[in-house]
Structure 1
C-alpha cells in the first residue's frame, strides 16, 4: 500500500473529469475487443494468401498479439491503466489503418504487401487513423471520473488532501 501511495504512481493514475472521456474510452475498448475487419490474424505473415500451413511461431505470435489487444481493450472499458494501454492501442490502430488504406491505394498496397495483408477500404483506414490520433488525448486527461483509475486515486489520496478539497 505504501508503494501505491507514492506521488509518481498516483500521477500515473490521476485523472481529470471531462465528460467525453468515459463513452469515448468504452467505444475504443469495444473496437479493440471486437475488431470490425479483423486485426492481427490478417497481419504480417500469420495468414498470408498462399500459405496453407502456419508455423508454430506464427500462431504463438498471433495469439500473443491478440492477447495484448484484448488486455488493452479491457483496460479501456474498465478505465484501468489507460495511460499505459494507450501505447499498444495506438500501435494496433496504426497497423489497422495502414492495412485498410493499403487495400484502397495500389502504390501503398505494393509497398506493404510483404508485411501486411491489405484489406478493407480507405473509410476504415481513416476511422482507425482518427482513433489512433485521439488516443494521444488520453495521455493528458486520463480515463475520466467513471473509471477504476479515478477510484484508486481517490482511495489512495492522503486524508489531508481529501479533507481540504471538500
Structure 2
C-alpha cells in the first residue's frame, strides 16, 4: 500500500488551531484588532514590517491600522476633483477625526512610520509617499501668510499650505 504524503495528511485535518490571544493595553485581545492584510501598492513584507512596528509602538500613540488609514486619507484627498486643493482642519480635534480628515496629520503619521521602519520597508513606503507628496505639492498652494505663525520644531512643508477657512464653520 502506498504511503500518504504529509501534505495530504495535513489537508485532511479540519480542526482549527487555537489562535494566540494576547491581551492589549485596553483589555481587549490583540487578535480582535483589525489587521490590514494588504496596503495598496506595498509588498507583503513591507506590510508585515509596518504591522510589527504598529504593534511594537502601542504605547507611543501608533495604533494598528493607522498607517493604512493615513495612506487612504492621503490618497482620497488627492483623488478629489479640481485643479487646486485646500487642506481642511477638523472641528472635533480628536486624533481619529484628524487622521481621517486632515491630510497634514496623516502625512505626519506617515513621516513617523517612515522613521521607525527598517531600511528595505522604508524605501518601498517612501517611494509611495514621495509620489503622493509630489502631487500634493503641485495641487496645493503655499500659504503666503504662514510666516506670521510661529513655526513649531518638526513642522514640515505640508503644514505651510493654504487651509480651507470654511471647513471649520
TM-score (norm 2): 0.31
- Higher-Rg structure is 2
**TM-score normalised per structure 1:** 0.32
